[in-house]
Amino acid sequence: MLLGMPRQTVATILLVFCVCLSCLAQGPSAIACTADLEFLPGFLLENDTGARDHLAQFGQKHFDDALAAAKSAASQIRGNASCAPVIQKYLRAWRRGHLGVEDIAEVAAPAPAPAVPPKRSAEKAEAPPLRNAPAIEILSAKTLRLTLKSFAPDHREALIGLLKAHRKDLQEHPNWIIDVRGNGGGSDSSYAPLMPWLMADEVASAGTEILATPANIEGWTRVCALAAPGDAECPKSLSDSIARMSNAAPGTYVAMNDGGSMQYDRVGRLEPRRPSRVAILIDGGCGSSCEQFLLGARQSFHVKLIGQRTAGSLDYSNLRPRDFPSGRRRLWYATTRSTRIPGLMVDVAGVQPDIYLPAVAGGDAKNEEVRRVQNWLDGGTLAPRTVQ
């Protein structure tokens, strides 16, 4: 015992001393990572549109335990790059999708430009091929397969071109398989050119609300420079939403547009010769805009969803950026919510198929699903070949 000091005082000093030693043992990356984690609960509850719903669903202890585990893991890291996975795991305790973290890369000094620009060959001058581009495959005299692996914004023009180039095939094949397995989404505008082929005349869809907070206004103002640099149309497209938030009381929700909580939109310029039977193949890799596509397409009397349930990443969306206190990482979080909730929530269990196909292991499982659906569309059975 330290001379002349009460036992309780000595115990307090020793505890503080041990804590200080623990802090000294942690490197700067671990300390910064822990600080970033501690920033998250308060920020999410104030600005993320799903956070309060998740707190009510799972309870405070769920998130306290998740944060304690994350801070313990953060204390052990030895480099900056090791922090993002720790934070991402913690964010999954809140929500599986539409909530993420990225490292902020250091901006390297630009290399000096050569005195004479190098000549580029014709091959190099061409634009690189589009990754996961849409594709059409003729399977039989009646059936074709349209594969859509992504709804990224740059896939819209590719889909328009594909539909135009294969217009005759699309008209002459009454049975379609639309394969969206593994489609992680992107932009609703990317699949819009396909809707005149699928819908009778109208699509009913829920509206969207934005949470008005200072951080969300800042995020909406910054997002174009980060996600679409050089796109002059991006700031224009967001200006109305930013104005709506700026004119609202902080912490309140405002409508993203004037359509109301439910919108009933006519599909313009319908195709005169549309398919009579459409099977959309789905799985757990279909999320975000892919799920929004399903909510619209399944309203057609000619469409069936076949496969496994989707990812469940749609109720809270329109991700916007917020830099962490450390300045080393950036949070992407949801600033809008659908007016479907709580009546029709997608995030809880995904979009359910009309016809369930159990997932099967094996290298040829995905092709086998296509063969089964084709057989069904051509007048046969969905049953596996082994039990036919």
pTM for this model (two decimals): 0.81
Mean pLDDT on 267-286: 94
Whether the upstream peptide bond of residue 342 has omega within 30° of 0, thus cis, is yes
Two tokens, residue 80 = 């900056």
Choice between 324 and 126, residue whose per-residue pLDDT is larger:
324
Please give the Cα distance from 167 to 322 (Å, whole number).
44
pLDDT of residue 26: 65
Mean pLDDT on 237-266: 92
Angle 153-154-158 from CA coordinates, rounded to 5°: 120
pLDDT of residue 200: 79
Residue 177: φ, ψ to 5°: -110, 120
Percent above pLDDT 90 for the chain: 71
In terms of phi and psi (left: phi > 0; alpha: psi -120 to 50; beta: otherwise), the region of 182 is left
Residue 115 reports pLDDT greater than 70? no
| Residue 317 and residue 214 in contact, taking contact as beta carbons nearer than 8 Å | no
> Confidence class of residue 387 from pLDDT cuts 50, 70 and 90?
low
Q: Tokens 């594969």 belong to which residue?
A: 147
pLDDT of residue 362: 80
> Confidence class of residue 4 from pLDDT cuts 50, 70 and 90?
low
Choice between 40 and 2, residue whose per-residue pLDDT is larger:
40
Residue 124 reports pLDDT greater than 90? no
* Domain regions of the chain by residue span: 18-96, 97-105+131-206+270-314+350-380
Architecture of the domain delimited by 97-105+131-206+270-314+350-380: Alpha-Beta Complex (3.90)
pLDDT of residue 131: 87
- Among 153-157, 200-204, 354-358, the minimum mean pLDDT is found in 200-204
- Among 4-18, 185-199, 308-322, 359-373, the minimum mean pLDDT is found in 4-18
Please give the Cα distance from 287 to 74 (Å, whole number).
30
pLDDT of residue 25: 52
In order of 23, 288, 310, 324, the CA distances from 284 in angstroms are 42, 11, 4, 30
Residue 169 reports pLDDT greater than 90? yes
| Residue 233 and residue 65 in contact, taking contact as beta carbons nearer than 8 Å | no
pLDDT of residue 247: 97
pLDDT of residue 11: 52
> Confidence class of residue 16 from pLDDT cuts 50, 70 and 90?
very low
Please give the Cα distance from 154 to 18 (Å, whole number).
55
> Confidence class of residue 127 from pLDDT cuts 50, 70 and 90?
low
Mean pLDDT on 172-184: 97
Residues 6+ apart with CB under 8 A from 145: 136, 137, 139, 176, 177, 178, 179, 370, 374
Q: Cα dihedral sign for 290, 293, 295, 298?
A: negative
- Among 20-29, 148-157, 267-276, 350-359, the minimum mean pLDDT is found in 20-29
Q: What is the dihedral of CA 296, 297, 298, 304, to 10 degrees?
A: -160
pLDDT of residue 249: 97
Residues 6+ apart with CB under 8 A from 244: 210, 212, 254, 255, 256
> Confidence class of residue 304 from pLDDT cuts 50, 70 and 90?
very high
Q: Could you tell me the end-to-end alpha-carbon distance of the chain, in angstroms, rounded to an integer?
A: 83
